[in-house]
Amino acid sequence: MSGIINIGVTALTANQNALQTISNNIANVNTPGYTRQAVVLSNVPGQFTGSGYYGKGVETLTVRRLYDEFLTRQAATSQAVASSDATRYSYMQQLESLFPSGPNGLGASVSDMLNAYSDITNAPTDLTARAVALARADEMAHRFRSTAEAINELRMGTTSQLKIDATAINNLAGQIAKTNEQIAIAMGSGHTPNDLLDQRDQLIRDLNKYVQTTNIKADDGSLSIFLAGSQPLVLGKTVSPVSVVEDEFGDPAKVKLAITVGGVSRILEESMLGGGEVAGLLRFQNKDLVDASNLLGRMALAIGTKMNEQQALGLDLNGNAGNPLFNLSTLPNGYASSANTGGATLGVSIQANPSGTTSFLASNYEFSFATATTGTITRLSDGVQTAFDFGATNPVLLDGFEILRSGPAAAAGDRFVITPFATASRSINTAFSSPKELAMASPIAASAGTTNTGALALQGLAVRTVPIPPAVTLTFTGPGTYTRSDTGATVHNYVPGQPIEYTTPAVAPLTGWSLTLKGIPQIGDTYTVDANPYPLLDGNNAKAMLDLRDLALFDGGPLTDGYASLIAEIGTKVQGAEQASIVSGNIATNIEKDRTSVAGVNLDEEAARMIQYQQAYQAAGKMMQIAQNIFDTLLASFSR
């Protein structure tokens, strides 16, 4: 009799435990990080009798989590990648909004400024036309500065968010370490602390939103968490904090994530971080923002420098050589790596003659010294490498810039980063406010001889350098030859429409002027290039300013297309970021569905299991009722 009762009691207890577990699953159906649980039942070993083994009921061994470790790891990793891509795409959209098209865009202000010189060409002394051109120049410079400031604010916001994320990572790491300690203690009971394990898994998932991690499980149940492949963030209950620091070159435009292990700080390269919001933010700040800033800075530096060069080739209304139209900041020196042992410095300037403005590429550069004077230059925008030798050439010419090594010698292994466009767009401004200072007149003029009988006509005259050289007269000795007053009896060939350079032979750097004639001359015809006798009535330098619209200034494209190519490049990156975000987001969603199909609570399934165990519980109760009735019958038979 006692056997039946004991079996009934174990059945009641086991099914009650199952019902309690199911109830807990249902209660936590919407709890983040909760893993479905199930009781593990086992029959109590039977008792031997002469007629065989008779069972003694059921017992509850433990409560286990319905957990797939592989899917959990995959879900955390895919979530980290999706978080990185989504964060970068969000910030790229903000960056794109800083470069509007249409009449309010920077490109329109550049075109408006250059077009304003057409009125001066027709009326060189018109102060109103000059004032409009100067106002357009000031408006263009203002748009450069405001866009650069907006980029800088976005950069500061990104840095601020990175610091917030670093704090969040440290907090989560601390909670994981504390949970590790609690789990290690609880594992001593011989049963898994399911709720603590769920809590730790959720903390790891939260952590992977910020930075991708890997983990290794210890015998005591604790997990060690690693960043960037092998850097320990959590070892048992010990945390190595992370922080946001400047990069090794001290470039103010860039930051890095560092981890402090055993009191030693180590920089984590973003390429090793994998996914997570921090990786997306670092890529955006250190790559996307730098590229956009370089594109904008290249425009400001190239346009400002080219217009200053053209302004210097003209005369203002006071008869003076033109002063710079724009103030441009001095190009920053190269940033030296903190690991450098030599004392060299690298100075940066724009190549003067010929002008380096048409060779600018929107990039930073890294110099790596193999010896005291030689090494390799890496263009960081595309990874192209070239060799340098300061011992043979100092300064070194580089994409329109001159890089001058000075100071003590460099040491093998020293590295520098050159950021030539870093300050250009936020510093450009008009250098004067008086319209009279616009140098719109050409300092030279070309005139045909009064006795000419041929069909010679002036096609073009351009100033190469100032001050202008003494007067030069060309005397034609035939339809295809001429002599020059500055070269004596030397005979030169004449081709209609082909420029005649003051510099002979016409090799770079060109100086003086460039004269282009058309038509066929007669013997004895002359043409003279001399100082302009009527500068107040001349607008040839204004026309030269206007002609800059078609100058091949940006990657072989005309100056006025520079902004359009900038927008196109940023737009392409935004589209790429969007596509990456969509793909990684879909992958993360699908893997999470696979994980929750195993670990998540399904209410329909739980309801069916509840009915199953409810019926079993009722049956166990009926069993005990029957046992009680039998016992009562026995007692009644003995009492007779």
Indicate if the pLDDT at residue 557 is higher than 60: yes
Q: How does residue 614 score in pLDDT terms, banded at 50, 70 and 90?
A: confident
Nearest-angstrom CA–CA distance, 582 and 586: 6
Indicate if the pLDDT at residue 422 is higher than 80: yes
CA-based torsion, 150, 152, 158, 163: positive or negative: negative
Give the list of residues 6+ apart from residue 348 with CB closer than 8 angstroms, or none: 331, 332, 333, 334, 401, 402, 403, 404, 418, 420
In 295-400, beta strands by DSSP E: 326-327, 335-336, 345-350, 365-369, 374-379, 385-389, 396-398
Per-residue model confidence (pLDDT) at position 640: 57
Other Cβ atoms within 10 Å of 250 Cβ, number: 12
Per-residue pLDDT, averaged over 516-523, amounts to 96
Q: Tell me the pTM.
A: 0.88
Give the list of residues 6+ apart from residue 387 with CB closer than 8 angstroms, or none: 374, 375, 376, 377
Per-residue model confidence (pLDDT) at position 627: 77
Indicate if the pLDDT at residue 210 is higher than 80: yes
Per-residue pLDDT, averaged over 25-35, amounts to 88
Nearest 5°: the CA angle 412, 418, 423 is 155
Nearest-angstrom CA–CA distance, 497 and 489: 23
CB 193 within 8 A of CB 182: yes
Nearest-angstrom CA–CA distance, 502 and 513: 5
Of the chain, the percentage scoring pLDDT greater than 90 comes to 72
In DSSP terms, 365 is beta-bridged to 379, 418
Q: What is the pLDDT of residues 357-390, one digit of tens each?
A: 999 999 999 999 999 999 999 999 999 999 999 9
Indicate if the pLDDT at residue 46 is higher than 80: no
Count how many residues are written for the chain.
640
Indicate if the pLDDT at residue 583 is higher than 60: yes
Q: What is the pLDDT of residues 93-134, one digit of tens each?
A: 999 999 998 888 999 999 999 999 999 999 999 999 999 999
Please, how many CA atoms are within 13 Å of residue 340, restricted to the half-sphere of its CB? Answer: 26
Q: How does residue 8 score in pLDDT terms, banded at 50, 70 and 90?
A: confident
Indicate if the pLDDT at residue 48 is higher than 80: no
Give the list of residues 6+ apart from residue 242 with CB closer than 8 angstroms, or none: 166, 169, 170, 211, 227, 233, 257, 258, 259, 260, 268
Q: Token digits for 149? A: 């400031």
Which letter, b or e, does each residue of 487-511 get, where b requires 16 or more Cβ atoms within 10 Å of its Cβ?
A: eeeeeeebebeebbbbbeeeeeebe
Strands 213-217 and 429-430: unpaired
Phi-psi region of 382 (alpha: psi -120 to 50; beta: other; left: phi over 0): alpha
